[in-house]
Amino acid sequence: MTERTLAGKSALITGASRGIGFAIAQRLGQLGTRIVICGRDQNAIDAASTRLRGQGVDAFGISADVSRSDQVSSLVEKALARFTTIDFLVNNAGTGRFGPVQDFTEGDWDTVLDTNLKGVFLVSRAIVPSMISRGRGHIVNISSLAGKNFFPGGGLYCASKWGLLGLTYCMGEDLRAHGIRVTAVCPGSVATEFGHPSTKNVHKMLQPHDVAHAVEMVITAEPQSFISEVVMRPTQKP
């Protein structure tokens, strides 16, 4: 892996106290990236950053709600103060509520859309100026196959992820002239604590480290090109 080392680079990963976000932090950290992780639960973020440091990763955690612009501004300010630059932004924070649309409230809609879609907009908007000033950077948005498909009870979640793909592609067009690459990673069901009730076999599902591998792949692509989307499915249907 020496030819693909990311030593000296830095990354901000949202929703990284566990699951996919933590696996991405581990993988990029193993390649030498300095890591900033964030999440809403300060205790969980502290525990995750301690684990990363115990594995030799230069990491620290910041508590932030990505759906709130004031907290996002503080998050990015602290991250840049710590590492000066952020080379990679991984928008992973997400939530889901599942069931018939008519059973949900306006508050349920706001919770899902504000976290999964508005949060990506807010964090990206805060990071992009520093990337533009340096003429480089990479933003990876963790979407889902739910952004390309539909299923009963998925109205709120699918709406957020379909919207996220639209936002990702438009960001890619807006930012490519500035040397900034934007990628959507769309996994199927991943064996994490997140998700709606399921009888799927977790051993046949995608694992967090599978998604981390995809993120590594896209950000280590040669600089003259970028991968706009990665669609991931398990080898066997769970």
Return the number of other C-beta atoms located less than 10 Å from residue 137's C-beta. 22
Distance CA 105, CA 102 (A): 8
Residues comprising the chain, all counted: 238
| Strands 88-91 vs 10-14: parallel, antiparallel or unpaired | parallel
DSSP per residue, 126-152: HHHHHHHHHT-EEEEEE--GGGT---T
Cα separation of 156 and 99, whole Å? 9
Tokens of 50: 């301690």
Q: Write the single-letter amino acid at 91.
A: N
Which amino acid is present at 228?
Answer: S
Residues belonging to the active site: 157
193: left (phi over 0), alpha (psi -120 to 50) or beta: alpha
Which residues 6+ apart lie within 8 Å of 89 measured at CB?
Answer: 11, 12, 123, 124, 127, 137, 138, 139, 140
CA distance 10 to 139: 12
8 Å CB contact between 13 and 24: yes
**Encoded tokens for 60:** 């620290």
